[in-house]
Amino acid sequence: MKAGIFALQGDVSEHKKMLHNAGKELGKSIEVVELRGFENFNCDALIIPGGESTAMRKLTHDENGNDGNKFLNFLKKISGEGIPVMGTCAGLILLAKNVDGKFHNGLLDIEVKRNGYGRQRESFEADINLRPVLNLNGTTKFHAIFIRAPVIEKVNKGEILADFEGNAVVVKDKNVIGLTFHPELTNDTKIYKYFLNLI
Protein backbone atom coordinates (compact mmCIF):
# COMPACT_ATOMS: atom_id res chain seq x y z
CA MET A 1 0.00 0.00 0.00
CA LYS A 2 1.50 3.33 -1.05
CA ALA A 3 0.47 6.74 0.32
CA GLY A 4 1.67 10.00 -1.21
CA ILE A 5 2.18 13.30 0.64
CA PHE A 6 2.14 16.48 -1.44
CA ALA A 7 5.43 17.77 -0.03
CA LEU A 8 5.73 21.40 -1.09
CA GLN A 9 4.98 22.75 2.40
CA GLY A 10 3.77 21.57 5.79
CA ASP A 11 4.48 18.83 8.33
CA VAL A 12 5.51 16.17 5.84
CA SER A 13 7.67 14.09 8.21
CA GLU A 14 4.94 14.17 10.89
CA HIS A 15 2.29 12.91 8.44
CA LYS A 16 4.75 10.23 7.34
CA LYS A 17 5.28 9.03 10.91
CA MET A 18 1.55 8.93 11.61
CA LEU A 19 0.85 6.95 8.43
CA HIS A 20 3.48 4.38 9.40
CA ASN A 21 2.12 4.16 12.97
CA ALA A 22 -1.47 3.78 11.75
CA GLY A 23 -0.38 1.13 9.26
CA LYS A 24 1.34 -0.87 12.01
CA GLU A 25 -1.77 -0.70 14.19
CA LEU A 26 -3.88 -1.92 11.25
CA GLY A 27 -1.37 -4.65 10.40
CA LYS A 28 -0.65 -3.08 7.02
CA SER A 29 2.68 -2.20 5.46
CA ILE A 30 2.62 1.42 4.27
CA GLU A 31 5.11 2.89 1.84
CA VAL A 32 5.06 6.70 2.01
CA VAL A 33 6.20 8.81 -0.94
CA GLU A 34 6.96 12.54 -0.82
CA LEU A 35 5.60 14.19 -3.96
CA ARG A 36 7.01 17.42 -5.41
CA GLY A 37 4.73 17.27 -8.45
CA PHE A 38 1.71 15.32 -9.59
CA GLU A 39 2.43 14.31 -13.19
CA ASN A 40 3.62 10.76 -12.44
CA PHE A 41 1.29 9.92 -9.56
CA ASN A 42 1.30 6.25 -8.61
CA CYS A 43 -0.15 6.00 -5.10
CA ASP A 44 -3.17 4.48 -3.38
CA ALA A 45 -3.93 7.60 -1.32
CA LEU A 46 -2.87 11.27 -1.12
CA ILE A 47 -2.44 13.74 1.76
CA ILE A 48 -2.28 17.50 1.19
CA PRO A 49 -0.70 18.93 4.36
CA GLY A 50 -1.01 22.34 5.97
CA GLY A 51 1.15 25.31 5.09
CA GLU A 52 0.22 28.65 3.59
CA SER A 53 -2.67 28.15 1.19
CA THR A 54 -1.91 31.14 -1.09
CA ALA A 55 1.71 30.00 -1.50
CA MET A 56 0.55 26.42 -2.08
CA ARG A 57 -1.81 27.61 -4.83
CA LYS A 58 1.12 29.39 -6.50
CA LEU A 59 3.28 26.28 -6.20
CA THR A 60 0.67 24.26 -8.09
CA HIS A 61 1.04 26.56 -11.14
CA ASP A 62 3.55 25.75 -13.86
CA GLU A 63 6.87 27.57 -14.34
CA ASN A 64 5.15 30.31 -16.37
CA GLY A 65 2.62 30.93 -13.62
CA ASN A 66 -0.23 29.39 -15.61
CA ASP A 67 -3.06 27.04 -14.88
CA GLY A 68 -3.18 26.08 -11.22
CA ASN A 69 -6.39 24.29 -12.26
CA LYS A 70 -4.18 21.45 -13.51
CA PHE A 71 -3.63 20.48 -9.87
CA LEU A 72 -7.36 20.60 -9.09
CA ASN A 73 -8.11 18.65 -12.27
CA PHE A 74 -5.54 16.08 -11.14
CA LEU A 75 -7.27 15.85 -7.74
CA LYS A 76 -10.66 15.40 -9.42
CA LYS A 77 -9.23 12.68 -11.66
CA ILE A 78 -7.68 10.60 -8.87
CA SER A 79 -10.61 11.06 -6.47
CA GLY A 80 -12.94 10.05 -9.31
CA GLU A 81 -10.91 6.85 -9.61
CA GLY A 82 -11.65 6.13 -5.93
CA ILE A 83 -8.27 7.18 -4.52
CA PRO A 84 -8.71 8.69 -1.03
CA VAL A 85 -7.56 12.31 -0.65
CA MET A 86 -7.13 14.08 2.71
CA GLY A 87 -6.37 17.78 3.17
CA THR A 88 -5.41 19.25 6.55
CA CYS A 89 -5.66 22.97 7.41
CA ALA A 90 -4.33 24.73 4.26
CA GLY A 91 -4.87 21.43 2.44
CA LEU A 92 -8.56 21.72 3.30
CA ILE A 93 -8.59 25.25 1.84
CA LEU A 94 -7.20 23.89 -1.45
CA LEU A 95 -10.02 21.33 -1.50
CA ALA A 96 -12.85 23.80 -0.73
CA LYS A 97 -15.21 25.17 -3.40
CA ASN A 98 -15.74 28.49 -1.63
CA VAL A 99 -12.95 30.33 0.23
CA ASP A 100 -13.54 33.76 1.77
CA GLY A 101 -16.58 34.24 -0.47
CA LYS A 102 -14.71 33.39 -3.69
CA PHE A 103 -15.47 30.35 -5.83
CA HIS A 104 -12.72 27.78 -6.37
CA ASN A 105 -13.00 24.62 -8.40
CA GLY A 106 -12.47 22.39 -5.35
CA LEU A 107 -13.62 18.88 -4.50
CA LEU A 108 -15.47 19.67 -1.26
CA ASP A 109 -18.66 21.70 -1.55
CA ILE A 110 -18.02 23.72 1.60
CA GLU A 111 -17.64 27.41 2.46
CA VAL A 112 -14.43 28.21 4.32
CA LYS A 113 -13.00 31.28 6.01
CA ARG A 114 -9.22 31.33 6.11
CA ASN A 115 -7.65 31.99 9.53
CA GLY A 116 -11.19 31.87 10.90
CA TYR A 117 -9.99 31.07 14.42
CA GLY A 118 -7.37 33.85 14.31
CA ARG A 119 -3.71 34.30 13.35
CA GLN A 120 -0.69 32.36 14.64
CA ARG A 121 -0.88 33.74 18.19
CA GLU A 122 -4.50 32.59 18.48
CA SER A 123 -3.51 28.98 17.79
CA PHE A 124 -4.95 26.58 20.38
CA GLU A 125 -5.65 22.97 21.38
CA ALA A 126 -9.10 21.59 22.18
CA ASP A 127 -11.10 18.38 22.41
CA ILE A 128 -13.40 17.95 19.42
CA ASN A 129 -16.45 15.71 19.12
CA LEU A 130 -16.16 12.71 16.81
CA ARG A 131 -19.00 11.03 14.96
CA PRO A 132 -19.31 7.26 15.56
CA VAL A 133 -17.60 6.37 12.26
CA LEU A 134 -14.32 7.83 13.59
CA ASN A 135 -14.60 6.20 17.02
CA LEU A 136 -12.33 3.31 16.15
CA ASN A 137 -11.44 2.69 19.81
CA GLY A 138 -14.77 3.68 21.33
CA THR A 139 -13.84 7.26 22.31
CA THR A 140 -15.92 10.26 21.25
CA LYS A 141 -13.19 12.90 21.66
CA PHE A 142 -10.03 13.81 19.77
CA HIS A 143 -7.49 16.31 21.11
CA ALA A 144 -6.97 18.60 18.11
CA ILE A 145 -4.33 21.26 17.43
CA PHE A 146 -5.53 24.34 15.53
CA ILE A 147 -2.82 26.56 13.99
CA ARG A 148 -4.06 29.59 11.98
CA ALA A 149 -6.94 27.26 11.28
CA PRO A 150 -9.72 27.83 8.77
CA VAL A 151 -13.36 27.73 9.84
CA ILE A 152 -15.88 25.70 7.85
CA GLU A 153 -18.84 28.08 7.77
CA LYS A 154 -21.18 25.89 5.72
CA VAL A 155 -21.29 22.32 4.43
CA ASN A 156 -23.37 22.21 1.26
CA LYS A 157 -22.65 18.55 0.52
CA GLY A 158 -20.99 15.73 2.42
CA GLU A 159 -20.85 14.29 5.93
CA ILE A 160 -19.66 16.07 9.05
CA LEU A 161 -17.36 13.62 10.88
CA ALA A 162 -16.35 15.90 13.77
CA ASP A 163 -17.31 19.27 15.19
CA PHE A 164 -16.07 21.89 17.64
CA GLU A 165 -18.31 24.54 19.22
CA GLY A 166 -20.98 24.01 16.56
CA ASN A 167 -18.63 24.18 13.56
CA ALA A 168 -17.69 21.23 11.39
CA VAL A 169 -13.96 20.49 11.68
CA VAL A 170 -13.83 17.22 9.68
CA VAL A 171 -15.86 16.88 6.48
CA LYS A 172 -16.04 13.93 4.10
CA ASP A 173 -17.57 13.60 0.64
CA LYS A 174 -17.14 10.05 -0.70
CA ASN A 175 -13.37 9.46 -0.56
CA VAL A 176 -12.28 13.10 0.04
CA ILE A 177 -11.70 14.30 3.62
CA GLY A 178 -10.94 17.82 4.84
CA LEU A 179 -9.77 18.74 8.36
CA THR A 180 -9.36 22.24 9.79
CA PHE A 181 -6.71 21.12 12.31
CA HIS A 182 -3.37 19.24 12.36
CA PRO A 183 -3.84 15.55 13.27
CA GLU A 184 -0.17 14.88 12.47
CA LEU A 185 0.91 16.86 15.58
CA THR A 186 -0.78 14.39 17.94
CA ASN A 187 -0.09 10.76 18.79
CA ASP A 188 -3.67 9.73 18.03
CA THR A 189 -3.81 7.63 14.86
CA LYS A 190 -7.57 7.09 14.58
CA ILE A 191 -8.09 9.60 11.73
CA TYR A 192 -5.20 8.08 9.78
CA LYS A 193 -6.56 4.57 10.32
CA TYR A 194 -9.96 5.69 9.07
CA PHE A 195 -8.25 7.28 6.04
CA LEU A 196 -6.18 4.19 5.23
CA ASN A 197 -9.26 2.00 5.54
CA LEU A 198 -10.78 3.97 2.63
CA ILE A 199 -8.14 2.50 0.30
Active site residue 89: yes
Cα separations in angstroms, 55 against 17, 23, 174, 184: 25, 31, 27, 21
Which residue among 61, 89, 104, 159 is the active-site one? 89
Which residue among 15, 43, 104, 182 is the active-site one? 182
Which residue among 15, 43, 104, 184 is the active-site one? 184
Active site residue 43: no
Q: Which of 47, 38, 59 is nearest to 13 (CA)?
A: 47
- 136-144's contacts with Cβ under 8 Å and 24+ in sequence apart are 136/190, 136/193, 136/194, 137/190, 139/190, 142/183, 142/186, 142/188, 142/190, 142/191, 143/186, 143/188, 144/169, 144/181, 144/182, 144/183, 144/186
Q: Which amino acid appears at position 158 of this protein?
A: G
Point out the residues that are catalytic. 89, 182, 184
